Structure 1
Amino acid sequence: MADIISNTDLRVGTCIDVDGTLYVVTAFQPAKFGKWSWVTKTKLRDINTGFIVEKVFKPGDKIVRAILEGRQAQYMYKDDGGFHFLDQETFEDVLLSSDLVGEASDFLIENMMVEILMYGDKYVSINLPSYVELKVVDAPPGIKGDTASGGSKPATLETGIVVQVPLFVNIGEIIRVDTRTREYLERA
């Protein structure tokens, strides 16, 4: 369920247990402290409340990394209660809150497969595929002479997210978007 790591092992996305509360590292910054030691300044998001706290870890600190179990799930739909997924193991409806899904909601389309992360029997977060294919629903028109090496323009995708795309991309096209950087990759 958990193992001990040092302050230098902390990375964005690492889930840790601090005094019985689960946090996800959202930012970290190594900083020199004194003559020889390095501390790690972190921003942690409380899994339960969503609040962000700042904490500094010293070299001697024993940090408990929470081992998360991943389960495959299919995104079904969103309603007032949250986001509904179908667990591919148990075929049960899994309801996740908007706070838990977070910015991943910008990429969710019906029937998409995701990984739901759990700590014990508690849902913690979701992992998206590295890229998704989304349809362009609004973009300024391309102008004759636009090239692949030219500039970029904003395009609204079917989920409502706006990304910068090359000038040659038009309404109705399917494009690939990196879910980590939120950037255009290529036409699908």
Structure 2
Amino acid sequence: MASTADFKNGLCLVMNHDIFTIVEFQHVKPGKGAAFVRTKLKSLTSGKVLDKTFNAGEKVVTARVEKRPHQFIYADDMGYHFMDSNTFEQIPIEGKLIERANLLKEGQLVDILVHAETETPLSVELPPFVELMITYTEPGIKGDTATNALKPATVETGATVMVPLFVEQDTLIKVDTRDGSYSERVK
């Protein structure tokens, strides 16, 4: 049990027979009336996002979840397969539980969020940035750097990332996994 005073981003709550994580929240104290907390909650089982308002001091049930390190091994028609870094046990996970699954590369280390009581995987968290090799992109035109123009580039995982015109094929780049955007070239 926790109250609205304990809210923070990433806290997991049990509501309506589902597990939600707090994406963002805001304590509001209007000039007239009681204080309340506006939240944006994301379901860890379905991925749906909903807005919910709690009265200040309201009690909520928290879910016990654990982050466990795993290594991505391969993907097939059964899903994405990960190996526990401690026990070497392999587990398959559905693609819908992985945000930006197209940025996963073999051997990549990730954190899997597991519900502690039922031992069911809830979501897969990629590191904030991944380094990927560009396998194909159109060549840039010399002197075409006056604007912040972007071009599509295919990386080794098959994902398409928009990169600046000066980035060439066979270049190692850093990609932001939160939005799938180009960050920088890796030296």
Per the normalisation by structure 2, the TM-score is 0.81
User: Is the counterpart of residue 25 in structure 1 residue 22 in structure 2?
Assistant: yes
CA deviation after TM superposition for structure 1 residue 34, in Å: 6.8
CA deviation after TM superposition for structure 1 residue 8, in Å: 7.5
Unaligned runs of 5+ in 1: none
Q: CA separation in 1, counterparts of 2:179 and 2:93?
A: 23
The corresponding residue for 2:101 is: 105
What does the per-residue CA deviation read over 1:43-74, in whole Å, with 9 as the maximum and x for residues that have no partner? Answer: 432x3344444432221322333342121111
Q: CA separation in 2, counterparts of 1:24 and 1:150?
A: 36
Q: Match of 1:14, as an amino acid?
A: L
Unaligned runs of 5+ in 2: none
Q: Percent identity?
A: 38
Question: Judging changes above 3 Å, is the alpha-carbon distance between structure 1 residues 147 and 52 closer, same or farther for their aligned structure 2 residues?
Answer: closer
Q: Match of 1:134, as an amino acid?
A: L
Question: Judging changes above 3 Å, is the alpha-carbon distance between structure 1 residues 148 and 77 closer, same or farther for their aligned structure 2 residues?
Answer: farther
The corresponding residue for 1:133 is: 131
User: Is the counterpart of residue 57 in structure 1 residue 41 in structure 2?
Assistant: no
CA deviation after TM superposition for structure 1 residue 85, in Å: 0.3
Contact 2:23–2:42, Cα closer than 8 Å, also in 1:
yes
Contact 1:86–1:93, Cα closer than 8 Å, also in 2:
yes
Q: Match of 1:58, as an amino acid?
A: N
Question: Judging changes above 3 Å, is the alpha-carbon distance between structure 1 residues 98 and 146 closer, same or farther for their aligned structure 2 residues?
Answer: same
Determine which of 81, 89, 95 is the counterpart of 1:92.
Answer: 89
CA deviation after TM superposition for structure 1 residue 139, in Å: 2.3
What does the per-residue CA deviation read over 1:99-157, in whole Å, with 9 as the maximum and x for residues that have no partner? Answer: 212x2302100011111111111211122112101122232321112449743223222
Q: CA separation in 2, counterparts of 1:59 and 1:115?
A: 33
Contact 1:29–1:42, Cα closer than 8 Å, also in 2:
no
Question: Judging changes above 3 Å, is the alpha-carbon distance between structure 1 residues 183 and 146 closer, same or farther for their aligned structure 2 residues?
Answer: same
Q: Match of 1:142, as an amino acid?
A: G
Contact 1:7–1:58, Cα closer than 8 Å, also in 2:
no
**In the comparison of the two structures, how many residue pairs are matched?**
183
